[in-house]
Amino acid sequence: MTPKHRVLVIGVGSIGERHLRCFLATGRVDAEFVEVNDALRQTIAERYPAAKAHASLDAALIQPPELAVIATPAPLHVPMAQRLAEAGVHLLIEKPLSTSLDGIAELMSLVENRQLAASLAYVYRSHPVLTAMRAAIHSGRFGRPVQLVSNSGQHFPTYRPAYRTIYYAQRKNGGGAIQDALTHMVNAGEWLVGPIDRLVCDAAHQVLDGVEVEDTVHLLARQGDVLANYCLNQYQAPNETSITVNCEQGTAQFQADRNQWRWMLQPGDEWTVESFPAMERDTLFIAQANQFLDVVEGKAPVLCSLAEGLQTLKVNLAALDSVDHGGWRQIG
């Protein structure tokens, strides 16, 4: 039998617990976790008795794991990643990479020098539907992409009821719609048609009770020759996400809520639809876990490199700056 990998999940709030559960579901790991909150650590230990609990990262690093998932608030990602990389640990880092550029160049150098696998956990890159649409676009079958339109929204109090009391409530912790949700769509859009070169952004707090951070975002961008538009809110009743890519010779559209993508080549045609089996939300995270384990085993490339995560972080920061001060921002 293939030996199991030792994985350490750092921070087991909502997303960290999901990572712990989904790595265990692969059947390929022995899992441990770090949680500084005593009550939460006890709860998770009881819920996942197969996973060893640690009260601190220091305790966990007495015997360093093979790989780690960093699921703490975003300002802690880079310092923790540096400590883990120094111990020779492969890294899967939750989005966004950080809330500033501090320490990232040093982290990238350390990861390269230690020959470690390091990836950002932008889970749409594990989505089989989006993967299929991307392959079709990159094959050239629709011609050159010229426009991208992303539209998404959900009722945050239903899907994330604790939003008032977690990192989301403060920008400095990685909160607000831009860093929490729009960053997923931006990263997916960059994966489809290339990096954002410049942008202008408008955002505001419109509806959500108990917070002051933005819950509505409109972002216009240039991605090379592609004109892009990203719209998102966190209060509408429908839970829906779509990304439309208009190309010179056809249109492709990802519909996450329907688990399908579709395309049209000629005016007046019917949509041609490729549907995929219904998925639970954990399915994507299990796929992401398996893919990262394949990376560690040398069987696959990382899905979202540190450089790509840094690019999306620069977009986050430029969007926030544009909201606060107005005007277009160049992504340097």
Q: Is the pLDDT of residue 1 over 80?
A: no
What pLDDT sits at residue 3?
80
Distance, in Å, from the CA atom of 44 to the CA atom of 145, rounded to the nearest integer, reads 46
On whether both 79 and 24 belong to a single domain, the answer is yes
Both 90 and 23 in a single domain?
yes
Say if 144 falls within a structural domain. yes
Same domain, 91 and 141: no
Percent of the chain past pLDDT 90, that is, above it, reads 98
Please determine, for residue 244, whether its predicted confidence score (pLDDT) is greater than 70: yes
Across residues 225-254, what is the average pLDDT?
98
Q: Tell me, yes or no, whether 20 and 119 share the same domain.
A: yes
Are 182 and 325 within one domain?
Answer: yes
Q: What is the reported pLDDT for 2?
A: 73
Instruction: Find the domain containing 153 and state its range.
Output: 124-277+312-330
| Residue 282 domain-assigned (yes or no) | no
Same domain? 175 vs 262: yes
Same domain, 16 and 154: no
Give pLDDT tens digits for 135-160: 999 999 999 999 999 999 999 999 99
Distance CA 216, CA 320 (A): 12
Dihedral angle, C-alpha 149, 215, 279, 254, nearest 10 °:
0
- Does 64 map to a domain? yes
Q: Do 222 and 317 share a domain, yes or no?
A: yes
Residue 254 pLDDT > 80, yes or no? yes
Q: List, for residues 168-222, the tens digit of each pLDDT value.
A: 999 999 999 999 999 999 999 999 999 999 999 999 999 999 999 999 999 999 9
CATH of the domain at 10: 3.40.50.720
Q: Considering the entire predicted model, what is its pTM?
A: 0.96
For residue range 102-125, list pLDDT tens digits in order.
999 999 999 999 999 999 999 999
Claim to verify: residue 134 and residue 256 sit in the same structural domain: yes
Same domain for 96 and 201, yes or no, is no
Considering the domain boundaries, does residue 225 fall inside one? yes
The mean pLDDT value for 268-283 works out to 95
Both ends of the chain: CA-CA distance in Å? 48
What pLDDT, on a 0 to 100 scale, did the predictor assign at position 332?
86
Residues 69 and 204 occupy one common structural domain: no
- What is the total count of domains within the chain? 2
* Mean pLDDT of all residues belonging to the chain: 97
Pair 110, 205 in one domain: no
CATH number for the domain that contains residue 214: 3.30.360.10
